[in-house]
Structure 1
Amino acid sequence: MIQAVTVVPDGDGYLLGWRGGPDFVEVPAVGGRIVLWLQEGLSVAECTARAGEMVGEPVDVEDFLHDLTEAGILSDEEPPGDTPPFGHRLGRILFGPAGLTAQAALVVIGVVLLVVDPALRPDYHDGVPFTIPLASLLSITVVSAVLTVIHEMAHKLAAAQYGVYGRISFGRRLFFIVAQTDVTGLWVLPRRRRAVPLVAGILIDAAIVAILVILQEFVGPDPIMRVAVFINVGAIVAQTAVYMRTDFYALFLVLTNSKNLWALKGAVFRRLIRRAGRNDLDLIGAATPRELFWARAYLLLYVPGVAIAFSYYFGFTLRATLRVIGLAVSAIPDGGWSAVGGVVALLVILVPMGFGLTGAARSGIAAIRRAAHSGLRAQTEMPI
């Protein structure tokens, strides 16, 4: 259905997509013009003639349309209806000019209070607000879940104001289990409009921290509020870790106009350590100088970033976690409900931690194997 295809100018070419699908392709200027002509009602023959005049040589429009169908851009499915009015309106309220101004004002006030009053600043002890391990664990779990939903809904609502749908799911970043919102549909928007939906979660996290800090300044310290501030400050810090495909990673893609940064970064790194395979070399060969520049720049962030992530995990997150584990273990010999609470606390902590650590270990082993395999292929196919 050609009318459902979105055509967005991007550099010297166009990005073609489908608002109801996850696939987008970059085409030269003539490709974008062909789709626009078809949407205006011109026939394939007329588009073929115009395209030939535009580029100075024959253009196979039918083959071009076939390629778009194979790529999932053209579809016989009906496009979805408009974004639900409530989501669109709420997105405009929260992330339109007035909403962004209000959030910015709150954050400024919150930062000033944190600077002026050290007692309001989060501390790792806030990760264990109660001496009863199960109470601490449940409070952290519930508050984390609520804040996570708010964070992901912020992405959805900020995208909804432009009529783009988002899908929430769960995934992993290194050894962290995370929630994530798929807003691939933002590719249908011009670059400048993609930024706010991508950082909307961070914006709402910062606004919530500011609100809680302001409340505590007037009503006094509260353990649950301090837990929420502790969690959201940690979440904001974690989002700056562009080496883990965080919100700021997505923003980095927009700012640098990169579309295949993750794969190209890996190819550049493997070539650097002489483990590049044929696919890596083909990817590097097809990249533009600008794309290679940003891949190298990103690599300079990625390598130390992973080291920082490990330092943060083992020096901060793990310390708070081990304290809760210690409290849970100490409660088991007491018997009764204390023992039950201790066991439940251990399960709630250790199960997701186990998934995260084992997943990270599997990814690391797979990366090592791919590097070794790529190296053998490179030596066999292109000996030097």
Structure 2
Amino acid sequence: MNLSLQSQLTLYPLTIREDKKHYIVEESFSGDFFEMPKICIDAINLINKSFTLDQVEQQLKPHYPEEEVNLVEFAEQLVELGLVQEIDGEEVQVTKNNDSPKGFTWLSPKVGQFFFNKVTTKLFMAIIILNILLVIINPQLLPAYHDLFIFDAMTFNILTFMGISLLLIIIHEFGHILAVRSHGLPAKLDVGHRLLFVVFQTDLSTAWKLSSKQRNVLYLAGICFDQLMILIAFILKLSFPEASSLFIGILGVVVLDIFIKTVYQCCFYMKTDIYYLCENLTGCYNLMENGRQYLSKWLPFIKSDFTTETFEDEAKFVRMYSVFYICGVLLTFSIFIIYFIPQVYYAYSQTLPELLHPGGNPYFWDAVVFLGQTILMGSLLIYSWHKSNTSRTY
């Protein structure tokens, strides 16, 4: 279907909202969102008034003398994005999938508003500050790698850690879900991965329906619930220092798990909650793509899969993000060296020798089950990686 300056377009119904720097355009049926500058919004408004591309172009040029106004090229982009319904009365064949979240609508918005409102958001910020002060005053609250090992049997250690970690992940994600539902929007829970860890993740795409300030709460909601959990663990450890070793051990696993997950939130080379918060605060919604593009010029081993446009005034944020990107990589290596590698070494040094002593030895079967757990977690990770790579295939 050929486009020319004499062409007249009919667009699908669009919802347009002004954002920090530009505009967010929502295609109602598919639930897709796009960021566009004001010149594009003006063009869309004129197209919706049934002007031809030539008429739209002539009206825009006097208002944007420094811009290259090419309506045919813009119309082609709209077609590629699936926003054009008809060209000169002829229907454009496009397959639309409505993948927007539809879940958790059974959860009343009032429940979400109970946890996330003007008072509680300030309270959560106070909790974060309190946790930092508690660690400064009581450095022994910081976790050590051996906090993972409560029992002599490695199977029990891993099962305990997996159970506690799963429970904390669910609490974290329900923070996001409750924040989303507080605005009456649907949510969706999915499975993903962060480096070597299988994780649940909440689809926050509906957040684009909200203002920038409201989106900040949605991105921080999971971390807020994490900090509440670690505050409870800190208080219990300080209040009952003479409690049973099992009780103190479980609290140690809680602190270790949340601490490592909180550190990973600061690894900006992954799209973590804090990364999305930084995108939202700066109004630069391709920070990672632009940052990798910028870094690839200086560091050849960093590959950029996308070519994106950096809007005006975004360059300084991209350069700043690039620094945090490198710091995040170094932070990850630090966590691996301080926690993960010693844990793996200790776990396998304790279990593998037991495989040489089969029979009635319970630690032999502990080693067998532990290796089975390792294979299971590896399989879940491979599935998550495969799913992630498949979703990138167009």
- Say whether residues 1:324 and 2:330 are aligned partners: no
The one of 16, 29, 32 equivalent to 1:7 is 16
Residue in structure 2 matched with residue 305 of structure 1 by the alignment? 328
Residues 318 and 335 of structure 1: CA distance in aligned 2, closer, same or farther (over 3 Å): farther
Shift of 1:211: 1.2
Matched-pair contact (CA < 8 Å) for 2:107–2:181: no
Specify the SS of the correspondent of 1:178: strand
Counterpart code for 2:287: L
Give the aligned partner of residue 380 of structure 1: none
Aligned equivalents of 1:188 and 1:256: distance in 2?
18
Answer yes or no: is 1:173 the counterpart of 2:182.
no
Is 2:279 the counterpart of 1:256? no
Secondary structure in 1 matching 2:190: strand
Q: Percent identity?
A: 23
Greater share of residues in helix: 1
Cα distance in 2 for partners of 1:31, 1:288 equals 13
The answer to whether the Cα contact below 8 Å between 2:53 and 2:72 also exists between their aligned partners in 1 is: no
CA shift for structure 1 position 313: 1.1
2:194 and 2:358 map into 1 onto residues whose CA distance is: 37
What amino acid does structure 2 have at the position aligned with 1:124? Y
Paired residue for 2:298, among 260, 272, 277? 272
- Give secondary structure in 1 for the equivalent of 2:225: helix
- Per the TM alignment, residue 147 of structure 1 is displaced from its structure 2 partner at its CA by 0.7
1:56-108 alpha-carbon deviations (Å, 9 max, x no partner): 58x99999788546424578889988972634222222121232233344444
Give 1:181 deviation, angstroms. 2.3
The answer to whether residue 83 in structure 2 is matched with residue 44 in structure 1 is: no
What secondary structure is seen at the aligned counterpart in 1 of 2:284?
coil
- Alpha carbons of structure 1 residues 81 and 48: separation in structure 2 relative to 1, 3 Å: farther
Matched, 1:227 2:279: no
Cα deviation code 1:20-62 (max 9, x no counterpart): 6452223343543576799xxx8536999899757658x9999
Instruction: Determine which of 226, 239, 244 is the counterpart of 2:265.
Output: 239
Moved more, 15-24 or 211-220: 15-24
Counterpart residue number, 2:111: 90
Contact kept in structure 1, 2:25 and 2:35, CA below 8 Å: yes
What is the match of residue 71 of structure 1?
81
> Which stretches in structure 2 are left out of the alignment for 5+ residues?
1-9, 64-68, 86-95, 389-394
Residues 275 and 246 of structure 1: is their aligned pair in 2 closer, same or farther, counting only changes over 3 Å? closer
User: After superposition, what is the alpha-carbon deviation per residue over 1:82-138, rounded to whole angstroms, capped at 9, x for unaligned?
Assistant: 972634222222121232233344444444444444444422221112122111111
Are the equivalent residues in 2 in contact too, given 1:48–1:60 (CA < 8 A)? Answer: no
Count matched residues.
355
Structure 1, unaligned stretches of length 5 or more?
364-384
Match of 2:26 in 1: 17
2:212 to 191, 201, 222: 191
From 287, 291, 302, the equivalent of 2:310 is 287
- Aligned amino acid, residue 344 of structure 1: V
